[in-house]
Amino acid sequence: MNTATKKENISSSFIESFDFAQFQFAVEQRTKAYEAFKAMGLPDAKSEEYKFAPVSKWLTKHFSAAELSTQAIAANESVKDLLNPEFAENRVVFVNGFYNKALSSITSDSKITIQPLGEAIASNPSLPFDQLNTTDPFGLVNSTLWSDGLYINVPKNITEKKPLFIHYLHDASSNKVSAHTKLFVTVGENASFNIIEKTDTLGDQPVFNTINEEIIVEENAFFNYCKIQNDAGQLTHVANTTIHQHKSSRTDTYTFTLNGKLIRNNLNIIIDGEGCDSHFYGLYLTNGDTLVDNHTTVDHKKPNSFSNQLYKGLMDGKSKGVFNGKIFVRPHAQKTNAFQSNRNLLLSEDTTVNTKPQLEIWADDVKCSHGCTTGQLDKEALFYLQSRGIPKATAKAMLLYAFAGEVLDVIKDEQLKNYIDSIVSERLHKVY
């Protein structure tokens, strides 16, 4: 009883000392989010959504509320060494949660608006961001403390093939970093847009990073979105991504988690029109003490849509993999087809997997299924390769690569595919 109340006190005093008076814009939304967060509190181990992801524990251990609220733009020059030469052409760079104009170079179609969200709000105070309200506690922390963001507006009928690379850099070489950004994207009718996103950290001080993303995909539009999480720092990252799909639109999302400390991805897809197509893929290849927690929600609100998810995990070391996939099919969303698959390979004694694929269906004329498996490499397949003269380690790497290949194969962008492929195969061949 005592420890419980003690914990509660820590949580409430932590929340009480939030300081967001430093931010002069979006004050109304911040106050609202803060009030909602105060009412909710930090999720503990008993909360269903954060049962396996101890974000609160990590946060209160490494950060005081004052440290969390302090956001410094100052960063070491060498932070730019983290930039990927592969994606130098069309990129936006954030350093410690602030837009960095010097490092960014935008070459997308000039009809497309790409500007810092703060600026966008200043020029248009009625910009409808933060509409797809999140109920995630860390999403609310983000809405309270966000320092900067990016606003992208793709007008009607514009097709931009070239991906926009958004790079979030953190300099944690001497100080703790608390960085919170937003991304607000509207893809107009018949338009098409493509985003690649990555985080990287310099140094080994703890980094707490949240990103709230709202993406509105209008009728007949296409949105492609890829997240690369291969951060070598002590990064705890909570992403809340909400994609609102209108009639006949299509989205493809990819989430690759290869490194980090504690990664939580909340991906919510709202299917709010007929004839939508939604594909999402995930691959987590983890080692060390990485914990990756993928929560996905697909909410089928309208009939005749299709959603498909495939998440695959390879876990080594002491890493933990969590997957929770929810499929909702609302009443009258007839003729919905929704599929979900989660497959995990455990490669060491100390890994754990917690998965919860969840279906909630209120319409009868639907086809929905989910499947999940957990196991280890097929001994017979390994033996087969060895019997053909392939050394065990190579054979193992080959099989693991083939397991991951199912997700890698669906990446459409060649450059991106080669990039991810090289990281994955290098990792697998180095380790095994």
Residues that bind other proteins (CB under 8 A): 48, 331-332, 334, 344, 346-349, 351-376
User: Least distance (Å) from other proteins to the CB of residue 156?
Assistant: 36
At CA 114, angle to CA 27 and CA 215, rounded to 5?
70
Shortest distance (Å) from residue 285 CB to other proteins: 15
| Rounded Cα distance, 236 and 156, in Å | 37
**Closest distance of CB 189 from other proteins, Å:** 31
Q: Are residues 297 and 278 in contact, defined by beta-carbon separation less than 8 angstroms?
A: no
- Of 131, 144, 142, 128, which is closest to residue 30 (Cα–Cα)? 144
**Closer by beta carbon to other proteins, 60 or else 354:** 354
Q: Minimum CB separation from other proteins for residue 370, in Å?
A: 5
- The least CB distance from residue 319 to other proteins, in Å, is 12
Nearest residue to 96 (alpha-carbon basis) of 107, 86, 106, 82: 82
Closest separation between CB of residue 197 and other proteins, Å? 29
Closer Cβ to other proteins, 60 or 352, answer by number: 352
How much of the chain is helix, strand and coil, in % rounded to 5? 25, 40, 35
Q: Which is nearer to other proteins, 289 or 365 (CB)?
A: 365
How far apart (Å, rounded) are the C-alpha atoms in residues 234 and 326?
29
Instruction: State in angstroms the smallest separation of the CB of 406 from other proteins.
Output: 17
Q: Between 76 and 352, name the residue whose CB sits nearer to other proteins.
A: 352
The nearer residue to other proteins, 104 or 336, going by C-beta atoms, is: 336
| Residue of 298, 306, 303 whose CA lies nearest to 327 | 298
Distance (Å, rounded) from C-alpha 220 to C-alpha 201? 37
Q: Which is nearer to other proteins, 105 or 376 (CB)?
A: 376
Closest CB 1 distance from other proteins, rounded Å: 10
Tokens of residue 203, six digits: 């140094």
Residue placing its CB nearer to other proteins in the complex, 266 or 344: 344
Residue 24, CA distances (Å) to 31, 44, 144, 239 in order: 12, 31, 12, 24
Residue 174 or 362 with smaller CB distance to other proteins: 362
SS (H, E, C) 133-183: CCCCHHHHHHHHHCCEEEEEEECCCCECCCCEEEEEEEECCCCCEEEEEEE
Residue 200, helix vs strand vs coil? strand
Determine how many CB atoms are found less than 10 A away from the CB of residue 125.
9
Q: Specify the residue, 144 or 344, whose C-beta has the smaller distance to other proteins.
A: 344
Minimum distance of other proteins from residue 159's CB (angstroms): 37
302 vs 276: CA distance, rounded Å: 9
Tokens, residue 172: 């944690």
